[in-house]
Amino acid sequence: MSDSVFDDAVARLTRIGEMTGCSSQVINALSHPNAMMHVNVEVRMDDGHIHYFPGYRCQHNHVLGPTKGGIRFHPDVDAAEVQALALWMTLKCAVVNLPFGGAKGGVSVDPKALSPMELERLSRAYVRAMADFIGPERDIPAPDVYTNALIMGWMMDEYEKITRVKNPAVITGKPIALGGSLGRDDATGRGAYLCIKELQKRDCLTPEETTVAVQGFGNGGYHVARLLAEDGYKVVAVSDSQGGIYRSEGLDIKSVYQQKQEHKELKAIYCDGSVCETREHDTLSNDELLTLDVDILIPAALDSVITTDNANGIKARYLVEIANGPVTSDADAILKDKGIIVIPDILANAGGVTVSYFEWVQNRTGYRWDKDKVRDELHTVMSNAFNQANELVQNKGLDFRDAVYAVALTRLSEGIEAHGTPDYFNGG
């Protein structure tokens, strides 16, 4: 991934900031990460050799609180990617009014090529390298692409060995038995689902008459598809890295997911108990899925999949971003001209960091919440954030992305300018 990803994120921030009247001081502060750590993670492989994997952690901005953000294991991880993701996390936490700044980390590695023991050694070695850079009141990691609760448990355990203190609040997204939160498993998809339910109320959508396509069938994509299908929405297409499937009558999402977990392939399957049968369906590429004639398109996989090259082909009425940065800043204007309503990533996928915050709160207070409380609190947070942005859409004529950024920038501006403005220091 090139520097253009971070540059693109800053370009969008600058455009929206200037358009909404954000001060140049604030835009400048948010364009420069607070700190960046680059390490070589030393791992002894199963054959006895030592291998060094590039590792990164970016703390973007801590004006609203300690930084928060995931750790991803992926071959394309680089400094520019984690800086862009950390910037978006700063905005995301501000949008949903969490007392966190943004951070992100990762290791440039193909985790599928590692044995389970090598994966554990990599996870622990990353924490040893970053132990002085993270902490429950400084920077709190969480799972991201190709990391999960098991890996977070290893990382927490390694941190506690180094500090010799039990401190579950240092990491979120952990196994339930190690201090994880109920409701964390589907939080990202549920947050996007709650945004769509707010759209349903606002625009009087009829679920049974509303078609949905989801690019990316990982955790976030699966859960939003499942929740929408359970509500009666017609999910007609899903895809993974190998391609997608389409069925105009709609897919049985739970059965499709079961097939993928058991056989590592996508098929339009319907299961009744242990008996499954294949339904007639079409196959399509990820690019073809993006241009389907559906009501709601949900990119839930990679960044920069909608660009100036294909934006004119998008036919959906709504675009709900679960992936981080799936639409480039240059493509925004095209989608706006087409009248497509975009619910941006910094709101649509904020359910994950919100429930991670709930986990951090539970760890620090020593009091566990039940699943109903987690979901009720998540509903409140997502609904409030959506409606604050929607008020700007209705009263100020902003599009939804600009409105969501404006909510975030207002909170960040208040924090940054509370330390003093150029006018103050010049006697104003």
Give the angle subtended at the CA of 39 by the CAs of 351 and 130, to the nearest 5°.
55
Residues 224, 230, 236, 238, CA torsion sign: positive
How many alpha carbons fall within 13 Å on the CB side of residue 146? 21
Look up residue 303 and give its two tokens: 């960044």
* Burial environment of residue 72 by CB neighbours within 10 A (0 to 12, 13 to 18, 19 or more): buried
SS3 428: coil
38: enclosing H helix or E strand: strand 35-44
Look up residue 205 and give its two tokens: 């959508």
Q: How far apart are CA 107 and CA 285, in angstroms?
A: 28
**Residue 195, phi-psi category: left (phi > 0), alpha (psi -120 to 50), beta (remainder):** alpha
Residues 57, 61, 62, 66, CA torsion sign: negative
Residue pair 105/69 in contact by the 8 Å Cβ criterion = yes
Q: How far apart are CA 61 and CA 284, in angstroms?
A: 41
Specify whether 338 is catalytic.
Answer: no
Look up residue 293 and give its two tokens: 């004639």
Residue type, 117: M
Catalytic residue among 104, 174, 197, 260: 104
Q: What distance lies between CA 321 and its chain's CA centroid?
A: 9
**Nearest CA among 237, 97, 73, 256 for reference residue 150:** 73
Q: How far apart are CA 233 and CA 231, in angstroms?
A: 6
Q: Which residue has the tokens 């998540």?
A: 378
Write the DSSP string, 161-196.
Answer: HHHTS--GGG--S--GGGTPPTT-TTHHHHHHHHHH
Write out the catalytic residue numbers.
Answer: 104
